Structure 1
Amino acid sequence: MNRSNLALKLKNFRAISEASINLNGITVVSGINGSGKSTLSKILYYFFKITSDFEGEVRKNLQPHLSHIGIALEYLLNSIPVENRPFSTKDISTNFHNRSTNDKKIIQTEENLSAFIDKLEIYFSNQEEDNIKNNIDTVKKFLLDEQTNANLFEKLKERIHFVFQKIEQDLEERPSYYITKEINNLFNTNQNAEQLDIFESNNILFSNKNNHVLKSLFINNSIYIDTPMALESFNTQNGYWSDLNQHLKKRRNSQNNELTKIISQEILEADIELDNQSVSDNRLVYKRNLDNLILDLQECATGIKALGIIQQLIKNGTINDKTLLIIDEPEVHLHPQWIVEYARILVLIRKYIGCHIFISSHSPDMVQAIRYISERYELLDDLNFYLACEHKQTKQFVYKELNHDIEPIFECFNVSLEKIDSYALND
């Protein structure tokens, strides 16, 4: 079973005064709304998402610079009669969308684009018409955003060289500002945490005090689920919803047949699968065991959707032994009965697959179910609870490690019952 000794340390960021969280199996953080549980969840998700595909992140960040150059080249090319064009728009597109991170291919792509620019320069240097000069001046204004007598084609090659040099440099150095930038954008802030460290076996993968970031040896992908309503919703403000839906559409088969069988036969009494008969060929459907009734999963009850999402991610291998599965307040859309079943599935995922699981919850049912079902399956050593405790003066929260003891969490829940009593008595 995967025991990689992952840990997160966070100080003075948003609602959190201090949190030192171990991620060595099933980690449950609990506390009132506004205590920073989702902050922890999202930091973990985006850190492992970025570091597991750092090459893609580098290209995504530099793509706007390349796109500007590509638009300029296409504009110039399209101003040339078709029969005289030295290359096609497809040639441009192929090179600008080449996602290879191989050093030789990066160099080759830069050389190809420079060669295209040389061919354009040769053509335009032999043209005297005013409209040709106007086209060049227009591109100068668009690309350089300034009045200049500089050679446009040399400037284009300089821009391309800068971008490809930056890609190579960032792939080599893995600068940490990619993580810092994502966190600042995510929380709409320029205020950095006093401390943000992520460890693996006491080695620092990331620190906001360091200049570079390392990839985990034990986590290859992260999944963030905060609501079953994310199904089929590609919300541009919640990028993790789009990520989740892309994961759900994968057509791979995992080897976790025993676990999917338990979910299908004992819990859902149905199977979740991609419908080969639908127009899009990507619709998830609920297929009832009793009578083979088929329903669009999107139209099913939220409890079925929530469990169905998990089953599909297990079936297609997205959830595996190198996954960090992040579940943010799963109880919000679930009936108490479904909460217990959901907790059981999460514990079984740890038992049969061995992935890391991070759960934020303020549900007594969820906390209790995770605790005692883990004990039933002899997984207490893989389980750790944390409680967000409010500092009265600062109104920030310190996360207290509880190990397996959930009594302090229930004492926190009892405060709401005391408030009900006080309001009832006052009436």
Structure 2
Amino acid sequence: MKLNIKVSDFGKIKKADLQIRPFTVIAGTNSSGKSFITKALYSFFSTINKDFVTAEAIRNVSGINARIQVVFNSTKLSMQETTLISNLLEDGASLHEMVLQRYGENTFTSQLEGSVFLIKSTQNLREKLQLVVNIMSAKKKYEKIRADVDQILFSLKGLEQIFEKPMVMMVSKIQKEFTESLKENFQMTSLSSLRNFDCPPERNPTFEIDTIGMISIEGDTVNFKLKSNGIDLLQDFSNIVYLESPIYWRLKSTLERAREFSKINYLMRFKKQDSLLGVPRHFYDLVELLQERLKSNLRSDSFKEVIDKINISIDGEMLITQSGDINFRDNQSGKELNLHTTATGIINLGIISLLIERNVISKGSYIFIDEPEVNLHPAWQKIMVEALYELSRSGINIVIATHSIDMMKCIEGIVNSLPHDEAFEHFGINQLSSEGTSINAGDYPPKRIASIKSDLGKSFFDMQMNGSW
């Protein structure tokens, strides 16, 4: 995917122009804003990737149908009333199927077009329910179900509103979900904390994404100007994944228990869960994806060469048990080892292999990786880069944030082996300064990489010149 993004006044970033390509690199020294950008983009992409329209419509239709069945099954009906209710339930089931057909796997633009037909079907369902009400309202037994019938009619009106204004509902859901995602991924209770400290009062943090639209943060509120075809673009991705510290995987079971305990604790107290757990949402998002693949037992035969390359390098493979635990099976001993006794570098590489094998990372996925070089020997950094490049060539979008010279050298080797046009189209090389601004070293990827290497190597050069070594 090819996108150009302008980021202003967000976190460490003052002003940055980013080129997003099938293989995107965001590089810079410590505290240059790399992680701010990747976490923000993940939060936004993963939010838009959700089909809120279909989910909300199905939830409402299912609830209405279930309530109709329960209410009228608990009431003694005449032959005429029974026939009318049977027809009503058939129409409700048809509406459910129509929602799946008109919405379902369709693009958001197609959903907007299909809403007209759904409005008519919902109005027809409401009219038939009203006919039942008119026949039963004069009877004493109706008093027992009046409140339930009124609730069904109210829910039908709400369903009509979804179909009449799907964009309004979509934006409302996105606004709420994106706000929560930002807070949980950055572990901040207020979005105002994400404002650049040099940002003037009259300006707000903004993201301008050329084919998708604009996002701005005003105080604790997120505002959008989205294009329907931009929503189509992001909803077309299969999975959006963010990979960060391997330490989270070592603590996976403990972190999951802590999350469940926190939910139960708040439910028991009848309070809204508004505290932060200290663990970013993106980790829990990925664990849930992995659990879904575990339940379906869906495995991938694709990318076998990539999986084999990683597993040979770590001399083993990552496994996930039926209970959801992740172990490392060492080839030399044949034993399965708990991640607590497994080297962090092995976890870093092995998790990628496991996610590919379990089809979490597949064609159409979008993968963000913060500092993929963590705990990796330079030789393994090369394997990591080569594996990610192969994935990017096969329809998986890769975005990495790095400050590793060794990793940049590995990327440089691949870029230099490609024709100019192919390197330009496939690689988005972005450099950030310590002041949170873009460094423009020209459009040609090798020049950008050379500038990044020079910047990252400056501290080593200074130490040598000062005799610090």
Instruction: Compute the TM-score of the two structures, normalised by the length of structure 1.
Output: 0.67
3-state secondary structure, aligned to 1:346: helix
Structure 1 111/388 Cα, relative in aligned 2: closer, same or farther at 3 Å? same
The question of whether the paired residues in 2 share the 8 Å contact of 1:176 and 1:206 is answered with no
Provide the rounded CA distance (Å) in 2 between the counterparts of 1:207 and 1:363. 31
Aligned length: 370
Q: How does 1:346-361 map to 2 (within 5 A)?
A: 346-351=388-393, 353-361=394-402
Provide the rounded CA distance (Å) in 2 between the counterparts of 1:239 and 1:56. 22
Structure 1 322/127 Cα, relative in aligned 2: closer, same or farther at 3 Å? closer
Work out whether 1:223 is the aligned partner of 2:270. no
3-state secondary structure, aligned to 2:282: helix
Provide the rounded CA distance (Å) in 2 between the counterparts of 1:198 and 1:259. 32
Task: Give the counterpart letter for 1:228 in structure 2.
Answer: P
Deviation at 1:311, TM superposition (A): 0.7
1:252 to 273, 286, 299: 299
1:160 aligns to what? 155
> Which structure features the higher share of helix residues?
2
The question of whether the paired residues in 2 share the 8 Å contact of 1:18 and 1:399 is answered with no
Provide the rounded CA distance (Å) in 1 between the counterparts of 2:380 and 2:396. 22
Work out whether 1:49 is the aligned partner of 2:46. yes
Q: How does 1:228-247 map to 2 (within 5 A)?
A: 228-231=246-249, 232=252, 233-234=255-256, 237-247=279-289
Structure 1 171/297 Cα, relative in aligned 2: closer, same or farther at 3 Å? farther
- Report percent identity of matched pairs: 21
Structure 1 205/228 Cα, relative in aligned 2: closer, same or farther at 3 Å? same
2:429 to 356, 369, 385: 385
1:243-278 Cα offsets, whole Å, 9 max, x none, are 21233341222322222222223x122233434xx5
The question of whether the paired residues in 2 share the 8 Å contact of 1:110 and 1:164 is answered with no
Provide the rounded CA distance (Å) in 1 between the counterparts of 2:382 and 2:171. 40
2:273 aligns to what? none
Instruction: Compute the TM-score of the two structures, normalised by the length of structure 2.
Output: 0.62
Structure 1 177/390 Cα, relative in aligned 2: closer, same or farther at 3 Å? farther
Provide the rounded CA distance (Å) in 1 between the counterparts of 2:340 and 2:290. 12
Structure 1 57/14 Cα, relative in aligned 2: closer, same or farther at 3 Å? farther
Provide the rounded CA distance (Å) in 1 between the counterparts of 2:22 and 2:344. 27
1:319-368 Cα offsets, whole Å, 9 max, x none, are 233222111122334444433332232223224x2322111112222222
The question of whether the paired residues in 1 share the 8 Å contact of 2:240 and 2:367 is answered with yes
Q: Which consecutive unaligned segments of at least 5 residues does structure 2 have?
A: 78-88, 103-116, 184-189, 196-202, 216-223, 260-276
Work out whether 1:406 is the aligned partner of 2:449. yes
Task: Give the counterpart letter for 1:253 in structure 2.
Answer: S
1:254-312 Cα offsets, whole Å, 9 max, x none, are 322222222223x122233434xx5x2x3333333345322345652221111111112
3-state secondary structure, aligned to 2:232: coil
3-state secondary structure, aligned to 2:233: coil
Provide the rounded CA distance (Å) in 1 between the counterparts of 2:433 and 2:124. 54
2:26 aligns to what? 29
Provide the rounded CA distance (Å) in 2 between the counterparts of 1:39 and 1:334. 23
1:210 to 214, 225, 233: 225
1:376-414 Cα offsets, whole Å, 9 max, x none, are 5777442232111255xxxx4335365223232233334
Task: Give the counterpart letter for 2:413 in structure 1.
Answer: Y
Q: CA RMSD in A?
A: 4.7
The range that moved more, 168-177 or 98-107, is 98-107
Provide the rounded CA distance (Å) in 1 between the counterparts of 2:214 and 2:170. 11
Provide the rounded CA distance (Å) in 1 between the counterparts of 2:124 and 2:308. 51
